[in-house]
Structure formats: C-alpha cells, structure tokens
Copies of this chain bind each other. A is one copy, B any other.
Amino acid sequence: MAHNKSHATFGRLLLTGAAGGLGQQLRPRLAKYARHVRLSDIADLAPASGPHEELFQTRLEDSQAMLALLEGVDAVIHLGGISVERPFDEILQANIVGVYNLYEAVRRQGVRRVVFASSNHVTGFYRQDEVIDTKAPPRPDGLYGVSKAFGENLAQFYYDRYGVETVSIRIGSSFPVPRDARMLATWLSYDDLERLVARALLAPVVGHTVIYGVSANTVKWWDNRHAAHLGYVAQDCSEPFREEVMAQQVPLDPQDPASYAQGGAFVRAGPFE
C-alpha cells in the first residue's frame, strides 16, 4: 500500500481495538493522516501493510503496557474494549479499567488528543420519537452504555484537570449497510466514520466535545448542534436502503421498549446471571 508521508499531519497515531470490526475499517484509512500508525489489540492483527504500521498486542487492563503503548504517540483513536452488552466483569475490565489506563498513559506521555469511541447506548433509553442533543442527561440502556458514560466523564475530567482534549463519538450503527428499521436512523457508513474521525483529530480546538456518530440519514434522533465546530459533514444516507430494509423488517411490538427505545434490542439485553 502506498503511503503518502508528505501530507501526514501527525507523526504517530495510535489506533486501539485495531482488530475489531471498526478497527479493521479505519486501519488502512489512517495512513494518510500520520507518518506512523500504531495499532493495538488483544486479538491478532493482520500483518503490517508497510513500514508505517507498528503492531502491538496490548491488554487495556495492563497499565504498564498501556504506558508503553502511548509512548511517542501524538493522538489516539480509542476503539478498544467491549462494544456490546456483556457481564459486568468483562465490561469492568475492558471499558472501565481499560479507559482509565488509557487516560493515565495519555496524561503521562503528554498525548494531547483522544478520539474516544463512545456509543449511542449512553442515551439508549430515550424514545424514538424524542430528538435529543449531546447535553441531554444520560439514559444508558445497559452496563455497556453506563461504561461509555464513564469514559466520557473521565474524558471531561482529564480535559478540565490536565488539558487533554477528547472528542467522544457516540457511534450509532456502523456497518456496511443498515440492517433493520432502527438503523435507518442510526446508521454510520464507514466513509462517514472516517470523515468524523478525521475531523475529531484535526479540529484545532475541541476541549471535550461529544458528538453522535451518524450519517446524514433523513430520520434523525440526535442533534449535533453543540458539536458544529468540528465541521463534520456526513455524506452518506440510509434512505436508499429503506425499501430493502423495510421489506425484511419483522413486525415490532409497540409495547416493547426494544421497539420504541432508541437503543433498540440493547434495552433488553442481559442481565447475565
């Protein structure tokens, strides 16, 4: 893969969770933003696509390893951790201990910018006929959502206290195409994901900014007005998929929170006993 170093803005970008679904999508796209792209996951990573890639197998729970991972890093895109509802112990290690270790390493290594993969499940218990903005109080739809709210609050603290800047992206549903009726509202295309990550990395002043990660779908539950300074302009839209999606949609029970809550099926995941 050709790597055009001449336009790279960052010396070294770190991508955690690089072996996951979104990590695999973002990995090749980051080359144009940095001379060195450091990749980290606990799962196996595909071999480096060129000399600009640096591969690390680091557990988020390992604070010393995290400190090493962040060395020499200019900015980090933190996709690492668990991205679905799971038993608390798993969430605790990956998404709470892990994100703390990340921020401590960021602070100690002098990294100035974090792009944090938060989730729409921070506010999943709002209804689908409510339109909320990023200052609406959290209504998480599970332990996963609670853990992402924890990450956002930690990001706010590290900014207020230590000046570390973060963009918390409350990712909607990032898949190749929308899969069901709910995703007509929540879909984030991979190209729009890249656009948003790029803006989050490059905007000159962000403090701690929260933004919903969603394409330019016509059905909107989320109002990103407070994040307009990022300059994110989605260019994809779920609408072309509507007919196909609706043809396959199973009927929804209007009394079921999974039908009317923004979080969809997440609102009835667990508990794991």
Binding site for B on A (CB under 8 A): 88, 92, 96-97, 100, 104, 107, 112, 125, 127-131, 135, 137-143, 145-146, 149-150, 153-154, 156-157, 160-161, 163, 181, 184-185, 203-207, 209, 217-221, 223, 225-233, 252, 254, 259-260, 267, 271
Contact = CB atoms under 8 A, between A and B. Distances in A.
Contacts of A128: 204-205, 229
Contacts of A209: 129
A131 B252 CA distance: 33
Closest 10 CB pairs of A and B: A219-B231, A220-B228, A128-B205, A218-B231, A125-B160, A129-B207, A149-B153, A205-B260, A131-B228, A140-B157
Contacts of A140: 153, 156-157
Contacts of A142: 157, 161
B127 A141 contact: no
B146 A259 contact: no
A229 B146 contact: no
Given A139-B157, A205-B260, 19 more contacts: A92-B100, A104-B271, A125-B156, A129-B206, A135-B137, A137-B156, A138-B156, A140-B153, A145-B157, A146-B153, A149-B150, A185-B229, A203-B219, A204-B252, A204-B259, A219-B229, A220-B229, A221-B229, A223-B225
A104 B207 CA distance: 32
Nearest to A210: B137
A112 B252 CA distance: 13
A226 B131 contact: yes
A145 B203 CA distance: 26
Contacts of A92: 92, 96-97, 100
Nearest to A218: B231
B141 A160 contact: yes
A142 B161 CA distance: 8
A139 B181 CA distance: 29
12 contacts: A88-B100, A92-B96, A96-B96, A104-B271, A125-B156, A129-B229, A135-B137, A137-B156, A141-B161, A142-B161, A143-B157, A217-B231
Nearest to A207: B129
Contact of A146 (B129, B150, B220, B260): B150
B205 A127 contact: yes
A269 to B, nearest CB: 10
A233 B219 CA distance: 9
B139 A156 contact: yes
A141 B128 CA distance: 23
Nearest to A261: B160
